[in-house]
Every structure is written in C-alpha cells, then in structure tokens.
Amino acid sequence: MRDVIIIGAGGGGPVVAKELASRGLDVLLLEAGPYWRPREDWTHFEDDANNPLTGYFRFGPEDRSRPAWFREWAQNSLLWQLSGVGGTTQHYYGNCPRAYPGVFADYNSPDRDAYDVAHRFPFGYAELVPYYEWVETTLPVQTAAMGTKEATFLGGAETLGVPVQTTKDTTGHSYRPQENAILQPGGNAARTTDTDSLRYPKATGCTMCGYCFQGCMEPVGAPRNLVAKRSTDNSYVPMALTADVWAPQGKAVTLVTGAFTTEIHTERQGGELVATGVTWRDVDTGEYSREDAHIVIMAAGCTESPRLWVNSGLPNPNGWVGRGYTDHHFDWLVGLFDRDTGSSKGPGSAARCDFPGYGGLENVGLPPGLQAFSMTFSDSGIRGQYTNGRGMTGPWDGPAGRLLGPELKDALMNGVDRLLNVIPITDDDVEPDNRVTLSAFPADENGPVAKVTFRHRQRSARTERNREFLVGKAVELLRGAGARKIYRLDWGALILHVQSSMRMGQSADDSVLDANAETRWVRRLFIADNSALANSLGGPNPTLTTQALATRTAEKIFQKYFGGDPWVAHESPVVATDSRISRAMIDRGP
C-alpha cells in the first residue's frame, strides 16, 4: 500500500507530490498523458502544437494518430486544456500574480462588497502568504524580462493615472511588470540570434524566442530543470523525481504516464466513507491496474475531477460537485501602431494592470498563427457584415467583431510586430449553473464523458460590469500608448482560466471541500487542482494560487494523517534550479 496516490500531473499534483515525497512518503503520481521530451517531440509550428484535435497540446493520448478524448460542450466554446506531465502549464505564460486579498474570508476594507462576497476562501489572505512565498522561491518567480512590447504597454498604463505597484500584494489600482515563472535571460540570451551562442551554458534562461505557447525548450542543451519556463514538467516534477537526492529524508516519486484514472475506491471505516485507492487504465494497452493508499489526491483538473467523482459513485448531497465552473470573462483588444511593438518577441505576457474589485489587464504577445486566430474569435460576428445580435459599439474604432477584407489587410500587412494585444481578465462571480455533468453521449474507453455547460452570454450583472470597465481601461491604455486604431473582438467563450468546480468554501451548503481541501463527504480524499479554488481570485491568473494552496494542502495532510510537523513557516525551500536536481535529471532523464 502506498502512502499517497495523486491523480494528475498538471499544475497542482506535482506540487503535492514533491512536498510529500521530500518528507519521506511513498507517492505514486498518475498522469493520463505523456511526459514529453521537448527537443525531440515539440516544434515551433503553431498548428502542430495547438490544434485541439491533432496537436501535441491537446487533451488526448500521446499517439496523435488516435483521436482526442471527447467532451461534450453544451454551447459554442473552446475548452483549452492539455493532457501530459505539466498539464496546461506546458503552454501557459508563467504569469504568477497573487490573488487579490478581497476574495478571502477576513477582508473588511471599504470595498469589501465589490467582490463575490458569497463565495470567499474559508481562511484569511495572510494565512496563504507564507505558501505563496514558498512557491515563489521554489519555482522561482521573478520580475519578468522587459522588451519593446512591455515598454509600449507600460507607457500606456502610465497615462491611466494609477501608480506603479512595488509589492507582490495587490491592494489598489496599479500597473507593473509581471511576476512570472520564467528564468531571466543570462549569458548570450536576448543578446544575439546566433544559434550556437544561444546554447546552454553560453545562454541561460529565456532566449526571448516568443513561442511560450508551444511549450518551452530553451535554451538548447539545458538540463530539464533549467529550461526557462517553469511549467511543472520543468520545475516540480524534476524535484519530485529526485527527492531522494536533495531532501535528507526524501523518497523519489513514482511517475506513471499513460495512466487514465477511472475510479476512486472507498469503504466504510468507523462510520465514515474513506478513500482507499484507485483503478487506472493503461492508455496504450487497455489493461486496468489497482493500487491502494492511505491518502488519495485528485488533481485532474476542473473538468476531469468532477467527472471522476461522479463516475466513482461518490456522494454529492448538496449538489455542488461540478458546479461553479468559473473562469475570467475574457475579451480581446488589439491596437495598431505605426512603429515596432515587438509583440511576437520575448515572454508571452510580461506586463499587467490590476484593478481590484474588477479584475486586470495583461499584455499578450503572440506568434503569427495565434495572432490571426485571436482576431477571428468573436461573439459579435464580422465587422460590417453581421452582428450575431450583439451590435456592440464603444470607445474603440467601429463595431466589435472579427476583421475582414481591407481592415484585416491593414492590420496584418506590416506583420504582427506593429500590433499590441491587451486581454481583460475579469473578477467573475461563482455561478452554480456553470457546471460539469455527465454527457448523454456514449461512454469512451475511460467511462462516461464530461459535459460542460457554460453560460457565456448570461453572466451576472457584476461580472458584465467588470468586463466593460476593463475594456474601457484597455482602450484608454492603447490610446495612451499611441495606437492609431483599436479593435475590440468581443471574444467568444474561450474557457481557459477555469476554476472552482470542486470548490472549498465557508459553508457546507455550497462547497465540496473544507478549509484543508479535504472533501466533506469522503475522508482521506483531497483535491489539489484549480477546481479547489473558492472563487475567481479577483481576476489574477490562477496557477500560483493553486500551487500555494496545494503546498498548504500537502502540509495539512502531513500533519493530520502522518503525524508530521509543519514546515513552511520553519524552513527555507529548495529552489527547483538546484544543481543536485540537474545532475540527477541528467542521470535519470527524460
């Protein structure tokens, strides 16, 4: 019997795995997708990476001649989630802002009611700060490298009349470089385009290639834990696999890929329902395996964790399993400039504005294919052709919607590096009708499949208010930066920053988890992915908070069920770039 089984090696599962293995526990980490070898398996071709059906970044098996795993979407939407070690962090931009303090239980400032007051975290912000600091040191999180697009964005932000933020805690309207999990350029990085000079160790950290969304493989020749972008496959997974090397009492995690978990097993013990183990299916052979453990941790994501719960026949007395499927009500603003913006170069998103109570704005740089996609994804139809019933006009140029004909030619004729993209990321209300259930379509090889029901156009009044406020600020920023024309795309339902579908909460009436991230109706069963988050965090990107919460959850598990002492407040974390990890990964691979 194992000490711990973790289901999913995405943004949260490897964090718990590394922390518990470093305390000497026997940890099995199961991942349905592959453990990619970036230099051998990835390219900078955008369709090769991002095609949701055939790309290597899809929700499906490693063998791309086989179909992606099916989900039903009850609306026209795109659910952008990946399988594989690292999960969706493989293509994220490494943005690591902390949540706004206003989404936590102890917040009592005058703007308290500007947030989703019905769905706060069941503890105070100050309690999570040491766990933020632990993750920020471990990854590590640093102030983003700056380039032309960041200078352009921040120059526009300066015209908004808000101050520069100088702390990691966001308490008011402000702007700043991102705090991101991308190693700073070192050596020849960002100083040359000569390929030989950009090989490790001549170059270290970010080489400013601009292809963050295709998965980071820079610099060439770097050990896996020194790859620039700190997705979990480059940071926490190497630490977990080498815990026996760098931790005095550590035990290396056992990682099994191509292992799709189909059932969580439980039994009655002392009058309580207790998790006892899992069954998983080998994606390649179809064979089933079962293993038992003292603790089971679900980290399969906001769609698959509810699906697995229901498929396992686990209780749902308050009906909140799969509910509150919360994102950020994205929109997309593109400014056209008569000068170079460097939009396709460097870290994908390295500058931001924050507006607590509303959400935030981020600059997003894209390579050509994804830039074109971003400008054809609209809920308003095509400018000058049809409106999809929206007919949105405002301080931007012309009606909202996709570009066509001369306008599209004008926007792209000088390349993507005379554009600047701004994405509004709203503070959304947790809405019970946004949810995951089981589809009426036939089951696939892994069991009944998930159905995602998402009310894109029918958001709460507060969420819609937040979106329009942020769009207005984005237009003001782009005008201040010198854009000669500004387009609002009015993005459709791009389900990307998803959270809260198995939420923790202050009340047992509308949450699945208690304050320790243990499920309310099954003992020894925990959740450590975005679905555990209580709300939309006020608008900031969710990964850092998920990882801080997962660190806290690991500590709670170790104290409650293994008689251990807390460590976050009493020790210094080992940094994921530690040379002991590099040497061990060179010996062990991949």
pLDDT for 240: 98
The closest alpha carbon to 326, from 528, 175, 532, 100, belongs to 532
**Cα-based distances in Å from 277 to 25, 261, 289, 312:** 16, 11, 11, 11
Q: At what angle do helices 148-158 and 461-481 cross, to 10 degrees?
A: 110
Classify residue 292: in a domain, yes or no: no
Classify residue 122: in a domain, yes or no: yes
Ramachandran region of residue 45, left (φ > 0), alpha (ψ -120 to 50) or beta? Answer: beta
3-state secondary structure of 530: helix
Q: What is the CA radius of gyration of the chain?
A: 23
Domain of residue 117, residue span = 2-251+325-588
**3-state helix/strand/coil string of 454-478:** CCCCCCCHHHHHHHHHHHHHHHHHH
Classify residue 314: in a domain, yes or no: no
The closest alpha carbon to 153, from 408, 414, 328, 333, belongs to 333
Distance CA 397, CA 356 (A): 27
**Cα-based distances in Å from 318 to 61, 512, 520:** 34, 8, 10
Distance CA 294, CA 2 (A): 7
- Give Cβ neighbours of residue 170 (< 8 Å, ≥ 6 apart): 97, 98, 100, 101, 354, 356, 540
The closest alpha carbon to 173, from 119, 106, 102, 120, belongs to 102
Which tokens sit at 368? 């050509």
Which tokens sit at 552? 């806290």
Give the DSSP letter string of 105-134: TT--STTGGGS-TTS-BSS-HHHHHHHHHH
The beta strand positions in 368-470, using DSSP E, are 419-426, 435-438, 450-453
Number of Cβ within 10 Å of residue 161's Cβ equals 9
The beta strand positions in 460-567, using DSSP E, are 485-488, 493-495, 525-527
Q: What is the pLDDT along the chain (590 residues), one digit of tens a residue?
A: 999 999 999 999 999 999 999 999 999 999 999 999 999 999 999 999 999 899 999 999 999 999 999 999 988 888 888 999 999 999 999 999 999 999 999 999 999 999 999 999 999 999 999 999 999 999 999 999 999 999 999 999 999 999 999 999 999 999 999 999 999 999 999 999 899 999 999 999 999 999 999 999 999 999 999 999 999 999 999 999 999 999 999 999 999 999 999 999 999 999 999 999 999 999 999 999 999 999 999 999 999 999 999 999 999 999 999 999 999 999 999 999 999 999 999 999 999 999 999 999 999 999 998 998 899 889 999 998 999 988 899 999 999 999 988 888 888 888 899 999 999 999 999 999 999 999 999 999 999 999 999 888 889 999 999 999 999 999 999 999 999 999 999 998 888 899 999 999 999 999 999 999 999 999 999 999 999 999 999 999 999 999 999 999 999 999 999 999 999 999 999 999 999 999 999 887 66
Contact by Cβ (8 Å): 365, 155: no
Number of separate domains in the chain: 1
Classify residue 537: in a domain, yes or no: yes
Classify residue 141: in a domain, yes or no: yes
- CB crowding 347-369: b at 16 or more within 10 Å, else e: bbbbbbbbbbbbbbbbbbbbbeb
Distance CA 111, CA 44 (A): 45
Classify residue 53: in a domain, yes or no: yes
Contact by Cβ (8 Å): 142, 183: yes
Classify residue 403: in a domain, yes or no: yes
List 182's β-bridge partners, or say none.
229
Classify residue 235: in a domain, yes or no: yes
Q: Is the pTM of this model over 0.95?
A: yes
